[in-house]
Structure 1
Amino acid sequence: MDASTVTVEDLDSLAVRLAEVESYLHLEEKRERVAELERKSAEPGFWDDAEAARSLMAELSRDRDDVQSVEHARESLADARAALELAEEMGGDEELLKEAASTVAQLTHAVDEMELSSWFTGKFDHGDAIVTIKPGQGGLEAQDWTFMLFKMYMKYCARRGWKVTVNDCPAAEVIGIDRATFTVEGKDAFGMLRAEAGVHRLVRISPTDDKKRRQTTFAGVEVIPVLPDDIDIEIASDDIRVDVYHASGPGGQGVNTTDSAVRVTHLPTGIVVTCQNERSQIQNKAACMQILKARLYELELQKREEELDQIRGPKHAIGFGNQIRSYVLYPYQMVKDLRSGVETGNVEAVLEDGDLDPFIIGYHRWATGNADYTPSESDAE
């Protein structure tokens, strides 16, 4: 932020936004809840029920983080005001103005993050996520596009500081990958990433076409939550078939020399889950079962309450007319989200550096009614 542009009005605007965040987060209630949970955690026998104790400690950690984040923001806002006032008293001191600008920039980012988190009211929004990417229309090009998206999300998760476990990412025969499934652990991972669920469209000059013609390809992204420990999905051993095979990674290289990759088929539903990241069959089977349980839970929600749209959005064919976002590399360069209207001409920052926050934050602002946007016919082109 340019030091010369920081004004009292900027600080007043941030103060208003911060007050709204406090209201969204019910901060006073959370302070009381933190005190209550701290008392409980200190009681004798608290850890006798380990599962219940872990759940309460996780709640304590989330609530404490929210309280501390707002309190730190309040302190930063006061520091920025003091620096700006002192700079004016000293006739526009450049160093103090730079200090105020730096504080305001950091504070704006912090308020953005808190505001975003306050919108996450779903049961699983603050938890971890399982992401699956599959090729759609476009043949070999779609498999390459799937790999490009996979690398983009790896970069985005790294930017966010999230832990990623790649469960399955087999190479395609010619180019790209057949699919990718990975688990993301971190603050608000599911809430953030559910913005990515849907069909992603790529327009570019085909790298496999000798005539260098323009090609449109598609890939589908599915995002489901990792189920917390207090949700137990029972799966009868007779209902699953477990197959093992040799693991391989992107580009065709062998992951290891043993038959450690695992494919679990749920016979009643036909759901198939494969995992090959771990070194042993036992670990890969455990990862498969975690993903299978999450998908069965999602299926049960759909059957009982028809709430699938709240978990991952409506299910569409991975092709023309269903895309949520377009990535155009030729004849011009642009990435545009067709729901929120957020767009950028810096395609490299998105695909190569994983700079997805403007799109994800823009989607959630749009989805929660904080932006007025109606897709036009030109957006679908």
Structure 2
Amino acid sequence: MDKTAALGRMSAGLFNEFQPKNNGVFSNYPKNSPFSSRPFRASHEPLDENKNKFYKELGMFSLRKRIEDSVLRAEMMAPTALEHEETKHINQEKVIRDYDLWDDLGKSNEILIKLADSAKVVDTLRDLKFKAEDAKLITELAELDSINYALFKQAYSASLDVNKILDKYEMSKLLKEPYDMEGACITVESRSGDIYSERWAGQLARMYMKWAERQGHAGRIVEISHSSKNGIKSSTIELEFKYAYGYLSGERGVHSMIRIPEDKSLLPKASLASVDVIPLFIESSPDLFIDDEDVLVSYPCKTLSAVHIEHLPTGLEVQSSGERNRFANRIKALNRLKAKLLILMNEQGISSVKSINRGAIMDIWSQETRKYMLRPTKMVQDLKSGVQIHDVSAVLNGNLDPLIAAQISLRRNSSVN
């Protein structure tokens, strides 16, 4: 069947079956906006709406350009990436055929997990090709149908999915550090005794929950300590999906909200909250031996099941209070301690807990990561990468991707150098 016939079939109703993910891009625009979902036909526009017609055509030109860029990006990257991942998957299948899975059950489980992960990547890249083809065909049909704006919306929605898949694939190739593939445990803590910092900490916790939601996953608040005035003293969030730690490890440090008083004679005030991120081992417990004599276990609340553990040689402290009993909280706290120690060992380039240099451990409150300013200038300034974003609301609503991408690139360049 040639392209004209294919497009004809699609115009007869096949698009009713195509339901791209709604990214909310067009949902908040008024009916008279150039981003309205109403179809636009140039030949039907009244003569007294030339200005409105111009803006509609300008909006469609911009959409068409974005769709074309996404399709071109997919056509350039997808075939090579798919061929690479399919070859990798075939080789992994060959390893399984040649390997006796009963010889080493632990190794066998690792091989099977890698095989399953590889199959998911292959399926995603194949789906990417279909989405790019859909976007291209919808665009062609929209132009045949006197520039139907509703179809351009569908093509644009498909192109957003294409770019999202490619962005994730590209970033996953950059995340090669140990534990990057693990989930993430995020702890947000406010500066003690400051109500503004306590409210700011609550806002940061919501920001990470919204980011996880944008990734298609649900974050889980496992522990929270509320303040008396609608804020939080601390909050712990667990993200149980792959690469969460690799994406968010650059968030570690102090995040400050800068408030500029209307009276210019007064100095700016800062609300401070610290963010700590450690790997959350989803499929296995962290493999690290800790001598019982090196840990001090305490129970902060006699009536609750909370467990606090201090690692005496390094001074690291962790706690867990989200489980139902002390035994479960002790296991979780110990796993968090192991995760912290593994990160320290990796950062210091050592292979033994005994070799950790306590003097080289940086206090999280001494690491400035990001500043958020709402007035008079709206800006988010990432102090590690130098990236500046003026849409503060978008960042606080979970759009962290530009900041995360900059952090990942910075880590990659630092490791290369």
Q: Same fold (TM over 0.5)?
A: yes
The structure showing larger relative contact order (alpha-carbon pairs under 8 Å, at least 6 residues apart) is 1
Alignment of 1:259-278 (within 5 A): 259-278=304-323
SS at match of 2:314: coil
Unaligned runs of 5+ in 1: 207-211, 248-257, 307-313, 370-381
Cα distance in structure 2, aligned partners of 1:97 and 1:140? 48
Cα displacement (A) at 1:287: 0.6
Cα contact 1:18–1:111 (8 A) shared by 2:
no
Picking from 385, 388, 391, the partner of 1:342 is 388
In the alignment, is the contact (CA less than 8 A) between 1:134 and 1:179 conserved in 2? Answer: yes
Are the equivalent residues in 1 in contact too, given 2:70–2:163 (CA < 8 A)?
Answer: no
1:229, distance to aligned residue in structure 2 (A): 3.9
The runs of at least 4 consecutive aligned structure 1 residues that moved more than 6 Å come to 42-45
> 2:76 — aligned with what?
19
Distance (Å, rounded) in 2 between the aligned partners of 1:69 and 1:120: 18
| DSSP 3-state at the match of 2:317 | strand
Deviation at 1:273, TM superposition (A): 1.0
Question: 2: distance between equivalents of 1:299 and 1:94?
Answer: 54
Q: Is 1:159–2:206 an aligned residue pair?
A: no
Q: Note if 1:56 corresponds to 2:111.
A: yes
**Partner SS for 2:299:** strand
**Residue 355 of structure 1: which of 399, 402, 409 is its match?**
399
Identity value in percent:
27
Answer whether contact 1:326 1:337 (CA < 8 A) is retained. Answer: yes
Q: How far, CA to CA, are the matches of 1:163 and 1:98 in structure 2?
A: 27
Distance 1:317 1:57, change over 3 A: closer
Residue of structure 2 aligned with 1:30, choices 77, 82, 85 = 85
**Does the residue aligned with 2:330 lie in a helix, a strand or coil?**
helix
1:1-381 equivalences under 5 Å are 3-7=60-64, 10-11=67-68, 14-16=71-73, 19-20=76-77, 27-38=82-93, 46=101, 49-94=104-149, 96-136=151-191, 139-172=194-227, 176-204=231-259, 215-226=269-280, 229=284, 232-246=287-301, 258-305=303-350, 315=362, 318=365, 323-338=368-383, 339-347=385-393, 349-351=394-396, 353-364=397-408
What secondary structure, in the 3-state scheme, does the structure 1 residue paired with 2:225 have?
coil
Letter in 2 for 1:359: L
Question: What's the offset of the Cα at 1:136?
Answer: 4.8
Between the aligned partners of 2:270 and 2:199, the Cα distance in structure 1 is 12
Mapped contact 2:285–2:335 kept (Cα < 8 A)? no
CA distance in 2, matches of 1:329, 1:91: 44
1:342 partner amino acid: Q
Return the index of the structure with the highest Cα Rg. 2
Q: Distance in 2 between matches of 1:132 and 1:9?
A: 38
In structure 2, relative to structure 1, the CA distance for the partners of 1:301 and 1:9 (3 Å cut) is closer
Taking a change above 3 Å as real, the CA distance of residues 91 and 147 of structure 1, as seen in their structure-2 partners, is closer
Report the AA paired with residue 218 of structure 1.
L
CA RMSD of aligned residues (A): 3.7
| d(CA) in 2 for partners of 1:241, 1:9 | 57
Unaligned runs of 5+ residues in structure 2 are 1-24, 26-58, 352-360
TM-score norm. by structure 2 comes to 0.68
Shift of the alpha carbon at 1:262?
A: 0.7
Give CA-to-partner distance per residue, 1:118-145, whole Å, 9 cap, x none. 3222232222122233345984543443
